[in-house]
A and B are shown apart, each in its own frame.
Chain A
Amino acid sequence: MNTTAMRALIRNDLRLYLADRRAMIVGVLVPILIAGFFGYVFGGAGRSEGQGKIPVAVVDEDHSSVSRAIAADLTADPLLAVSALGRAAALDQVKSGKQNAAAVFPRGFGERTTRSLFTGTDKPQVVLLVDPSQVTAARVVEGLLAQYSMKEISKEAFTGSYGRKAIDRYLEQLEQLKPTPLRTDMRTLLLAARRLNDQSNAGVPADGKTHGFGLSIPYTVASTPVTARDNVPYNGYAHSVAGMAMQFILFAGIDAGVVLLLTRERGVWQRLRSAPLHRSEFMLARALATTLIGLFQVTVIYVAAIVLFKVRIDGSWPGFIAVVIALCLLNAGFGLMLATLGRNASTTRGLAMMATLLLVMIGGAWVPTFVFPRWLQEASRYVPTRWAVDGLDGATWRGLPFEAAVLPTVILIGSAAACLLVAIWRFRWEE
């Protein structure tokens, strides 16, 4: 091995990289910007106030104590940003995307709903107008609506005037029917409910606490994001930085391949060929130089991500480094392979860009793979880019141990070796 010659080649490649300031800056700045955008859109650095609230309109055509109470509950919920609107305005805003959903309480809702709590018939209808692109948000609204309605309607039944009326009416109906043991029990229950209702309307008791109770869901949910260590919130930037770092390293690999194709067409190629240099030395030097450039890019991108987006390597540092090095090796192999398969620089660049973007998208760099349909999630397991993203995700926000980085690293290095083999097989050195 002519190591002096290889060192000279590597140094020269690094100099060429540094000489093209504009390309170098684009290679690190653009991925940071794009990662910032995607990261912000997909969750940002943990949930903060005002962020991620679901915009919902409430249309109260009933103006009853029940509908007002439900609207107040919805407004107080931290997940929702509620606006009180008329029906037409609400419909407009859902259509234009300003509101994800609108709940319409029709006239008579409070009275009818309290009555049907006892009778189970003649249920009023709450209309939920939904933005079809926001089904998940609509589900959340539906759930909260059910929760708060149940609470307020039952409260009304036992303490409010509609409740009192409903109980009286139901008792009247019972009186007219022939008594059965079940009807007698029901009558006792209703009488007790009426007493409860009377008491709560008799004024504020001495201890100052009203017992305006209602039924509520008899448990609470503490949803804990399963990431990294305890109390580390999901960082949307961690994922997008992984994806964009990968994409732009691959772009640098394409550039390396294209530069090699261009070099062939220049006098420099004659000079390289006239030196006592072997093709294995030449290829290895190129691969190492491309790897080093990739490592430099990743380092800059991740330093920026740590400073700007609070991305943390919450998993294994050795795992992170292993995946990064494997990715850079893959990229070097990829670049060399392009240079050996491609005939001319511009079409090679175009095709390689297209292929890379496709691989990167399937790999989940743009949109996380967990939102993919199942078949695509399965398919993506066959592209190395998916493993790169998974490996980086694992070492960053998922906080996985070193073992989790082993498979991605092995797959990436295997792919790198495959590219390199194709390159060695097809590389035209002799002419």
Chain B
Amino acid sequence: MAENGAFRSMVTRRRLLAVVGATGAALTKPAWAQRMVDLPLPGGPGAREITTTFPQKGPMILQRTRPPLLETPFEVFDKGVFTPNDQFYVRWHWALIPTEIDIDKFSLSVRGHVNKTLSLSLNDILHGLPSVQLSAVNQCSGNSRGFFQPRVSGGEWANGAMGNALWTGVRLKDVLDKAGVKPGAVQVRFKGLDEPVVADAPHFMKSLDIDHARDGEVMIAYAMNGEQLPLVNGFPLRLVVPGWYATYWVKMLNDIEVLDQPDTNYWTKVAYTIPDTQHASIKPGETGVKMIPINRMVPRSFVTNVASGSKVNAGAPSFLRGIAFGGDCGVASVDFSIDRGQSWHQAQLGKDEGKYGFRQWQTHITLPTPGEYSVLIRCTNSNGVAQPDTPSWNPAGFMRNVIESTDIMAV
């Protein structure tokens, strides 16, 4: 079981600026205005700045300035099932990110193993194809990596590298049909406008199998939560792959290439692979395991209104609320346990906003006698898959979904 860590974090005044940059744009705020958060990552370091210096973004946990890795502060998830655009987490691989997008000049190319190469303007996409909407969770493959034990390298996220939005856009299938996929196509590769800093380094690209790309669910979004995407979330176009990890949701999408051979590019074939084992789990140090590209998400659930370490009255009902998601399908049930998993009780589910989105849940718990309790929350998805009660481990720190535990003291 995992400590529901994000709640242990406390915001404190930054005591002093560790390094004073003479010209850094990030340091334009006076030292006293900077706030810190302490993420409870085992062994540390957990101190992160809360930054408000990124355009179109509100307060975010600064994991890395360049290229930006910005984590959603966990309190945000208590506000509802849709994560506001200005606090939606941000994750880039390469630092050459265009900072200016002219909507009249931008175009999306569709090429490769197709009958007709296309160059679509934003107008073609917004007004020339049927619009569709869907709510879906976008979660980094490495969300919660910082809780892995033994610890692994990478973006050292707590639980906030995820978000749920209502995506508006067009079906990828409609775009591919317009170009006419030739027989023999096997995959479709997606590329955005971001570029590697070193010329011969691998450009960030991801591929989906042709049938997946044409399933009618994968979409090209031009809006999230009813508004254009913040630039750092992928303006103007972002691929939406419902139920799949965010590595596939290519940002600033401007190039779609239909392939007649499996993609061998670094980011599809080498990076973002998981052990082909149950729960993608191996023993630390284990080698010779077959690796496969990461793919479908797995269920998760969190308490959002009570922090670990909180006190409640013994013998009286306390209100508990949170979010859950099924991963690659809907939420069937959310259950809680106050006796370390010996008995489970169903929580009440909130409105269903679509099977790929967050689902709110709520319940009242009564902790019978004074003492320390670990409250466990478990999501079972509509495919019958439940969160496991022991954490999995893999060297890249992917797919964490162990049952979370919130420590509550009854007094």
The answer to whether A and B assemble together is: no
Give the interface of A toward B (CB within 8 A). Answer: none
